[in-house]
Amino acid sequence: MRVSIFILLISVLVACSPKTETPAPANKEYKIVGYVAGYENFDPAQVDANKLTHINYAFANINMKNGGVQFELDTDSLKIAKLMALKQTNPNLKVLYSVGGWVWSDQFSHVAAFEASRKTFAAACVQLMKKHGFDGVDLDWEYPGQRAEDNAFRLSDKGNFTLLLAEIRRALDEQGKQDNTHYLLTIATGADQAYIDHTELGKAQEYLDFINVMCYDYYHGWHYQTGHHANLFPSDQEKFGGNSGLEAIERHLKAGVPAEKLVMGIPFYGREWEKVNPENGGLYQPAMATGMIVAYRDIVEKLQSGKYEKRYDESAKASYLWNAEDSIFISWETPADVAQKVAFIKEKGLGGAMFWEYSLDHNQELLNSINAEFGK
């Protein structure tokens, strides 16, 4: 009886003990995944290969005439060759190519809908990968089961997406056995609950090496209201719904994705609204224009005008700018904001950081912040 009471007391004490986050191992190798957009006026040879673990070259388009994928720009082959040359500097660097994106996701639903087209597409993905010497494939389907730019979508996208990933994984593994290597398969995911509801991430993640969560564009080019487009935490000033990095990651975890497979996206750009209601420094206010993309490098230049007041939402851990003279509001990322997100990644035991997009940085300020916080 005394032993039973003792065991009961120990059980109560353990149950009441405060829970703490399990710190990441000191020697953990975090992923630093940078997208490089082929359509930008940027020389990939300028990429600092030692500050990245993975590069995703964007984008390849889906060509339904032959059921495959292809690069559309005349400059793609040269730019890809320059990215591959970076391995001379960093032999551990992995270079993937990304299919789709905002504009070229229109055919994903058709490809995923049928077994024959899934097999043809998977084979074409491997063929394009081998042609250029990539280390894997990244899919950026925007979005399964939902309207985006001008994409077809079906209710069956939810299950078909999983089947498509399984088929690509099978084709990559088959090729990998021949080449005695492991080819990577990753995806970029939306940050809101709608994306979770229209996918089967708990099943899909079994076929993926990791997932790049697009933790940005919470307020974007469809919104005539200003707001933080990449805040880490929910804002206590939120008026229109919004989102946050914390919520996005928690949704993915709840959906069944292991923390170590989640790579948190960070934007190297801001969102700018014009003709904004001046109340509250323009934050969470109506505007006469939607949120335009503005590169971090251009924001740094705008600050030189002296018109912009730097502001900070402590609850959201998010920076913004207010130009009272011209009624302009800008949601942006500072190096300090980026460092705080990397600290969050480490605290939560996530797989690393992803960013869009390399050429939008200014003198590697944001990339350096990522590397510094990861201790590289």
Q: Catalytic site residues? A: 142
Q: Output the CA–CA distances (angstroms, integers) from residue 71 to 57, 104, 290, in the order listed.
A: 10, 11, 31
Q: Output the CA–CA distances (angstroms, integers) from residue 355 to 55, 194, 204, 213, in the order listed.
A: 10, 22, 22, 10
* CB distance 267 to 355 below 8 Å: yes
Q: Tokens in use for 125?
A: 């993905």
